[in-house]
Amino acid sequence: MEQDVYQQAKEIVKRFRDALYDCEQQGLQAAMREVFSARSDIHLAFPFEDMSGPDELYERAYRPLIEALPDLERRDYIVMSGPAETGDWVGCAGSYIGVFEHAWLDIPPTLHPIVMRFAEFFRVDGGKVVEMQALWDIPQVMMQAGAWPMVPSLGVEWLVPGPASQDGFVAGPWDEERSTRSLVLVRDMLDALSKYAEGGHEAMNLERYWHPKMTWYGPAGIGSNRRLSGFRNWHQIPFLNGMPDREGGRGENMTLFGDGDYVGFTAWPGMRARISADGWLGIAPSGQEITMRSLDFWRCENGLIRENWVLVDILDVYHQIGVDVFSRMRELTPARQIEKPML
């Protein structure tokens, strides 16, 4: 059977993923130049921000990470692909792991293994990655180093698992009917979320869309929650209390695509809101407008959403309101900034 275009896109990104599994710097550079267009648009989490092409991505992001974690290893648990209004995309979720030997972004090393979640989306055109939008859960690294200087999470901080169904590497060929069914379910749920202003959480009717045993895997700083009651109490209510006027991504800024039971979402940014009340991350209600980068994966099961992996660029939110998280971190850990040699 002829390979479909979305399976081909997964294979292109796989060369990059494989190079980060058995991570060797020269091999990684070569794979990146093979996979990425020389002028690809790269968008990473704060403080990395925008880049152009694989060489800048390597020098500014991956090389310092490998120097800090010399045995860096990439582990994906979701790899999906599909069409969106903005093009053909591949979505990957997983973690980077390695022994934290040297400081990274001034986060003090632990000499122990650490894990950092990622959500990475790749737009493929003409056999090359022409755009990358990615969030790395840097606060998760700070927490493992005992260096998180901001408020504690309301949800649980843990090693976020892959899909309960163990099928996150979605096999081809692309199933249009099944993918569309998942896409419609998630799109309807997102539309229901926007009805909060009409009548609170009851107006959203989330029980129609979410499985009774749903799990919401939030980013470090927010944490994960199980069941709708946990999602509401430890994330949604504080979030909506602080920013009741939030507006999600729409139109050309929104990329939503399905692959079997999975749906991926990226937008840069994906939300706009005004911090008009207290309740979220301990941020004062200054009335300031912010944008928010949020990357999502949903897994659907028997007509309901059972799992949702979410990363939010929390460091960028703090940056927009004038809080330098890295400066606070350095003040919290002055005695630990001098590295000890690895025995």
Q: Which tens digits make up the pLDDT trace of 113-170?
A: 999 999 999 999 999 999 999 999 999 999 999 999 999 999 999 999 999 999 999 9
Query: Bigger pLDDT: 192 or 260?
Result: 260
**Three-class DSSP category at 233:** helix
| Nearest by Cα to 85 from 269, 296, 255, 265 | 255
Token duo for residue 3: 């390979």
The pLDDT of residue 105 is 97
Question: CATH number of 5-144: 3.30.1330.30, 3.10.310.30, 2.60.40.3880, 3.10.450.50?
Answer: 3.10.450.50
CB 226 within 8 A of CB 210: no
Token duo for residue 145: 């180093």
The pLDDT of residue 2 is 44
CB 281 within 8 A of CB 155: no
Q: Could you tell me where in the chain the CATH 3.10.450.50 domains are found?
A: 5-144, 176-329
Residue type, 181: R
Computed over every residue of the chain, the mean pLDDT equals: 92
The pLDDT of residue 262 is 98
Residue 298 pLDDT level (bands cut at 50, 70, 90): very high
196 has pLDDT over 60: no
CB 257 within 8 A of CB 82: yes
User: What is the per-residue pLDDT across 72-128, written as a single tens digit (0 to 9) for each?
Assistant: 999 999 999 999 999 999 999 999 999 999 999 999 999 999 999 999 999 999 999
Residue 338 pLDDT level (bands cut at 50, 70, 90): low
The pLDDT of residue 243 is 85
The pLDDT of residue 187 is 94
Q: How far apart are CA 154 and CA 150, in angstroms?
A: 12
The pLDDT of residue 37 is 97
Exposed, middle or buried by CB within 10 Å (0-12, 13-18, 19+), for 2?
exposed
Question: CATH number of 176-329: 3.90.870.10, 3.40.920.10, 3.40.630.30, 3.10.450.50?
Answer: 3.10.450.50
pLDDT, mean of residues 298-307: 98
The set of residues, in sequence order, having a beta carbon less than 8 Å from that of 2 and lying 6+ positions away, is none
Token duo for residue 117: 């979640």
In residues, how long is the chain?
343
The pLDDT of residue 1 is 34
pLDDT, mean of residues 241-261: 79
pLDDT, mean of residues 313-335: 94
38 has pLDDT over 90: yes
Q: Quickly count helices (H) and strands (E) in the chain.
A: 11, 15
